[in-house]
């Protein structure tokens, strides 16, 4: 099964945004995705009407996306312009050559094109029959700060440095029954063999506790749907794990951006988030509604609270809008009615059931409240026995004593849920079992001893120095062991 964490390559598909060209775009995208396991991305169509949140223009957006791509596929559509195609695509053509990427060219039938290939420079001319001037555009023009796409309206010729791979343009018929599938597949195979293997792939790094696998899957799925970026984390095999501590820090510092779920402020997660912030990575924090305050250095990061998987998905999607791209894999998946034939997401990341679970939510919201009230209850009842001990009858004394013990057990049970670390799992029951023993002894002594006053409470379990010294010693050992285990945050124990 192919995974989000280990895609083969990412390629940029330069194609028309118009609906009448979707079929021909998806025809090529499906071969790239299904047969060769490629992530296929492009500039997002919404930028026809909206501005990029980070203020990037068309040229800069495309140049940024190409930084993570191993090659570029261009499909020049037939359009009613003097060039007989979209002159805006000349920008993507030239930027691909700027980064010396392998380039695969398709043209829809009806597009007029001539080309002259040289060792150092190649010239493509479009719309020869309607050509009214000898104007051309080259790489030096489009990289100028003053460049605007509107200057391409009168341009027919593109001069570009000859890339390492550039095919003779292949004509695609608008009628899918007349297409030469063998010729198309042969060209794509040659292109695939030429893809750059030394490109630094872009990815998002996800920080989350080990036991929050469903949350990591929701985040990874949403990131891919919005940006086409694979996700990496230190916990899941589908995300590239396992990594050692050095590899984790490297992955974080080289990530395109980082999303950290700090619902429970665990040391390893806080450390990883600190690495992200310290290395200048864009860091977005999500967390369930919590009264626990974030560490000082993370409070300035963009933070969003969530209640369930739907609100988590919405928060991540909103954050990813500034990095969004057109992801053809998603478009193909929608056309396939969720048939799992397209590289990623896979069946482990699609249609993830809502395991952010009512029970986890109930514990997160209620365990502190339950602990407080159950603890207050048995303390008040213990005081009640002390004060009105000699006024009560035996059955009522026994009933109140039982309630005290049940209250202590409820407190112990609630506090043991969602333990943080191994030794901390032991600290809680050791601490609260000692309290339970003392409380029970205190209550039983009050129940059976008729003497009034503190001197009468002589049960050895609650007053013997040997028990309490042993109890304090156990707690001390566990605390020291916990601190020793976590003194080096690079252990990344989650």
Model pLDDT for residues 477-486, shown as the tens digit of each residue:
666 665 655 4
pLDDT at 54: 87
pLDDT at 394: 56
- Which pLDDT score is estimated for 291? 55
What pLDDT is stored for residue 377 in this prediction? 61
22-30 helix and 328-335 helix, angle to the nearest 10 degrees: 100
* pLDDT at position 335 over 90: no
What's the whole-number mean pLDDT along residues 441-470?
Answer: 51
Model confidence band, residue 70 (pLDDT cutoffs 50, 70, 90) = very high
Average pLDDT, the chain: 76
The CA distance from 318 to 324, in Å, is: 10
Which of the two residues, 142 and 338, has the higher pLDDT score?
142
Tell me the sheet residues that pair with 68. none
Of the chain, the percentage scoring pLDDT greater than 90 comes to 36
Peptide bond into 172 cis (omega under 30): no
Give pTM, 2 decimals.
0.66
Rounded distance, CA 369 to CA 235, Å? 31
Q: Which has more confidence, 349 or 198?
A: 198
In sequence order, what are the residues at sequence separation of 6 or more whose Cβ sits closer than 8 angstroms to the Cβ of residue 407? 374, 375, 377, 378, 381
Token pair 């998002």 is found at 204
pLDDT at 348: 35
What gap in Å lies between CA 494 and CA 490, rounded to an integer? 11
Who contacts 95 (Cβ-Cβ below 8 Å, separation ≥6)? 59, 62, 63, 66, 142
pLDDT at 256 over 70: yes
- Conformational region of residue 199, where left means phi above 0, alpha means psi within -120 to 50, and beta covers everything else: beta
pLDDT at site 376: 59
Query: Which residue has better confidence, 273 or 402?
Result: 273
Question: What is the chain's alpha carbon radius of gyration, rounded to the nearest angstrom?
Answer: 32
Per-residue model confidence (pLDDT) at position 409:
59
Domains observed in the chain: 9-194 (3.40.50), 204-325 (3.40.50.360), 359-491 (no CATH)
Dihedral over alpha carbons 55, 58, 59, 60 (to 10 degrees): 30
The CA-atom distances, in angstroms, between 225 and each of 216, 316, 340, 388 are: 14, 11, 15, 66
Chain segment 175-184, per-residue pLDDT in tens: 888 999 999 9
Q: How far is CA 212 from CA 10, 18, 275, 360, in A?
A: 28, 41, 20, 10
pLDDT, residue 458, reads 46
**C-alpha 492: how far from its chain's center?**
18
DSSP assignments along 246-311, one per residue: HHHHHHHHT-SEEEEE-SS--HHHHHHHHHHHHTT--EEEEEES-SSPPPGGGTTSEEEEESSHHH
- On whether the CB atoms of residues 18 and 244 are closer than 8 A, the answer is no
Distance, CA of 332 to CA of 338 (rounded, Å): 9
The pLDDT score that the predictor gives to residue 312 is 93
């Amino acid at each position: 099964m192919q995974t989000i964490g280990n895609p083969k390559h990412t390629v940029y598909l330069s194609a028309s945004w118009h609906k009448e060209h979707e079929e021909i775009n998806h025809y090529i995208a499906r071969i790239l995705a299904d047969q060769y396991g490629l992530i296929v991305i492009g500039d997002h169509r919404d930028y026809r009407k909206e501005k990029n949140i980070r203020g990037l223009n068309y040229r800069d957006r495309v140049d940024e996306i190409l930084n993570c791509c191993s090659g570029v596929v261009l499909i020049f559509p037939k359009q009613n312009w003097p060039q007989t195609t979209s002159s805006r695509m000349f920008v993507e053509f030239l930027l691909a050559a700027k980064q010396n990427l392998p380039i695969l060219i398709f043209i829809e039938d009806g597009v007029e094109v001539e080309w002259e290939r040289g060792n150092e420079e190649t010239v493509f001319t479009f719309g020869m029959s309607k050509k009214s001037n000898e104007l051309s555009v080259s790489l030096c023009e489009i990289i100028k700060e003053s460049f605007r796409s509107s200057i391409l309206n009168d341009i027919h010729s593109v001069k570009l440095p000859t890339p390492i791979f550039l095919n003779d343009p292949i004509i695609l018929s608008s009628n899918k029954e007349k297409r030469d599938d063998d010729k198309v597949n042969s060209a794509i195979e040659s292109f695939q063999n030429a893809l750059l293997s030394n490109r630094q792939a872009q990815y998002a790094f996800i920080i989350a506790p080990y036991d929050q696998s469903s949350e990591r899957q929701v985040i990874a799925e949403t990131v891919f749907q919005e940006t086409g970026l694979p996700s990496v984390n230190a916990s899941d095999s589908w995300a590239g794990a396992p990594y050692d501590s050095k590899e984790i820090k490297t992955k974080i510092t080289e990530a395109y951006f980082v999303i950290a779920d700090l619902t429970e402020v665990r040391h390893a997660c806080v450390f990883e988030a600190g690495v992200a912030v310290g290395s200048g990575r864009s860091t977005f924090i999500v967390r369930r509604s919590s009264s626990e305050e974030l560490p000082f250095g993370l409070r300035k990061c963009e933070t969003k609270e969530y209640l369930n998987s739907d609100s988590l998905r919405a928060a991540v999607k909103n954050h990813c809008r500034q990095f969004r791209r057109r992801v053809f894999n998603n478009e193909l998946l929608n056309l396939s009615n969720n048939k799992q034939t397209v590289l990623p997401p896979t069946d482990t990341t699609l249609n993830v059931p809502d395991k952010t679970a009512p029970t986890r939510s109930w514990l997160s919201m209620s365990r502190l409240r339950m602990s407080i009230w159950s603890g207050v209850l048995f303390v008040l009842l213990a005081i009640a026995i002390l004060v009105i001990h000699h006024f009560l009858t035996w059955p009522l004394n026994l009933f109140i004593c039982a309630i005290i013990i049940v209250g202590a057990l409820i407190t112990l049970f609630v506090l043991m849920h969602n333990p943080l670390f191994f030794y901390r799992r032991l600290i809680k029951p050791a601490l609260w079992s000692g309290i339970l023993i003392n409380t029970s002894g205190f209550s039983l002594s009050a129940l059976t001893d008729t003497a009034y006053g503190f001197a009468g409470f002589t049960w050895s379990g609650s007053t013997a120095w040997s028990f309490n010294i042993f109890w304090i010693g156990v707690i001390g050992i566990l605390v020291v062991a916990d601190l020793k285990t976590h003194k080096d945050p690079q252990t990344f124990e989650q």
